[in-house]
Each structure stands twice: as C-alpha cells, then as structure tokens.
Amino acid sequence: MSFTLCLNTSTIRPQPLLDKIRLSGEAGFGAIELWINDLYEHVGHGGEVRDVEKALADHGLEVPSVIALRQWGEASPLEYPLMLDEARRRMELAARLGATYMVATPPREACPESQLVDRYGELLELGRQVGIRTTFEYVSFFGSVSTLDQAISIVEQVGDSDATLIVDAFHTWNSDSHPELLSTLPAHRVSHYHIDDAAPGIPAGEQTDPDRVMIGDGVIDLEAEIAMLRTIGYQGMISLELFNRQLWQQDPAEVLAIGIERLRELIGHA
C-alpha cells in the first residue's frame, strides 16, 4: 500500500512561500500543505497567485489542503455571516490552487458541540459551492475539540458523506485519546494524516506546538499508527507537520532531508 509523502510548511515556517515550495520539491515530497497566511503575505508583498501556481507546477507538487478556516465555530450570530464570507474567500483561493481540502480549525475555548456540528455542516455545503471539501481537525491544547474521540463524534453527527477529519499523531497522543480508536475509523473519513513526534520528558497534556520534535526523536509509537492506517485501508497523505523553533533555525534543506528519510524508513518498517 502506498502513501503520498507530504510537507506541511509549518515545518520550515520562516522561509518565504516560494522557497517553501521549491525546498519541498527538491527534497522529494510529492505534496505540500499550504497556509492561508503565507498566501496572503505573498500577495500583500506584491506577489501574484500565479507565481504560486507556477511554482507548484514546476516542482510537481499536489496541494491536499490549505490551512485554515478560523473563528467560524465560536462567532456570534452577528459575526457569523462575516466569518462565512471570509471562509468563502479562503476556499476560493485554495480551490484555485487545486487543493482538495480546506481545514476547519475548532475554537480555542469551549463551544457547544451542537453548534460546531451545525456550522461544520454549513462549511461543507459552502465548500461544495466553491469546489472544495472542508475537513475538520482537533487540537489537543484547545478547549473545544481536543481529542480524536470528540472529532469523530462531530464528523459522524453531521450526517454528511463529505465530512472528514485530519488524524494527527501529536494531538492524539497529547490529548490522551484512545490510540486504538484510529483502527475503527473508515478510511474515507480520514482526509489526511499529520505525522509528528512528542518531546521526551514532558507529559501528555502539557505539550503545545513548539514541543513537537522530528519523527523518531520523540515518544510516540508512530509505527503502530502507520500500521493502523494500513489496517483501515487508508492510502492518502502522510504529512510532516512540525512547529519546532530549533528546527526553524537550521538549514531547511537539511531538515527536510532528514524528515523525508525518516518518513521513508518508518513507512518501510511499519
């Protein structure tokens, strides 16, 4: 069973957008997850969207997703229509770049689950109008949807065949989600898989984004997770997503060379 090796550009965040694309292609990744803020910054500094389109084509990179839709879940009734307008703009840009998914990030603070279910359903419908699918993520240090269990519940309650979620090794481990839960998911419900490792010496539940470390340097049983993905028949993206400030200070080409080598080794062994 084959996976597509993907880079989430947060792994080399300080680099300019076009350099991120070039470095990803040169390292041997087949796909790249882009961040909307990088796209806005590129255009804000005088760049064109067609520059990004050309760079992606030149390096043969697929775009599985663009990150992210925010504030949709917690917005007040007065603010919510404005959030939907912004969501449409972001979706249209992502669709132009050929992205399959737009990521919907849950609120930082507690929010009624029923509201998230209803609004995620509306984002799915909005995405269909634009030509892109909206996928849901959980964030282990957020107060609304922090566990894989909660994310699965929301996706199932929506009752929409297009409802999917991002599975994330770090967030599953850091939130003490039941690790075997992944093996119960239908493969078509998984939009893609974020792979990352957790720093040794810091307990689960106390880590945040900067504590993610290069795969193989941490404490997560990543071989078991890859094996579960194979068990459910998942054949999509395996996306390296790190936010480690020490890695940001290193040569990005070397970071990506290590990352893709370890990804290949891990997938070969799992």
β pairing state of 197-198 and 212-213? antiparallel
Q: Three-state DSSP class for 3?
A: coil
pTM flag (> 0.75): yes
C-alpha of 42 from chain center = 20
What number of other Cβ atoms are within 10 A of residue 204's Cβ?
Answer: 16
Give the Cα separation of 31 and 6 in Å (integer).
4
Give the Cα separation of 71 and 218 in Å (integer).
32
Phi, psi of 181 (to 5 degrees): -60, -30
pLDDT tens for the 270 residues of the chain, in order = 489 999 999 999 999 999 999 999 999 999 999 999 999 999 999 999 999 999 999 999 999 999 999 999 999 999 999 999 999 999 999 999 999 999 999 999 999 999 999 999 999 999 999 999 999 999 999 999 999 999 999 999 999 999 999 999 999 999 989 878 999 999 999 999 999 999 999 999 999 999 999 999 999 999 999 999 999 999 999 999 999 999 999 999 999 999 999 999 999 986
Residue 172's nearest CA partner among 211, 140, 210, 141 is 140
Phi, psi of 134 (to 5 degrees): -100, 130
C-alpha of 53 from chain center = 20
Residue 134's nearest CA partner among 73, 177, 204 is 73
Q: The domain spanning residue 121 has which CATH number?
A: 3.20.20.150
Give the Cα separation of 161 and 183 in Å (integer).
19
Strands (E), 128-216: 133-136, 164-168, 190-195, 197-198, 212-213
How many domains is the chain built from? 1
Structure-derived torsion over alpha carbons of residues 247, 253, 255, 260, reported in degrees to the nearest 10: 150
β pairing state of 197-198 and 190-195? unpaired
246 lies in which domain range? 4-269
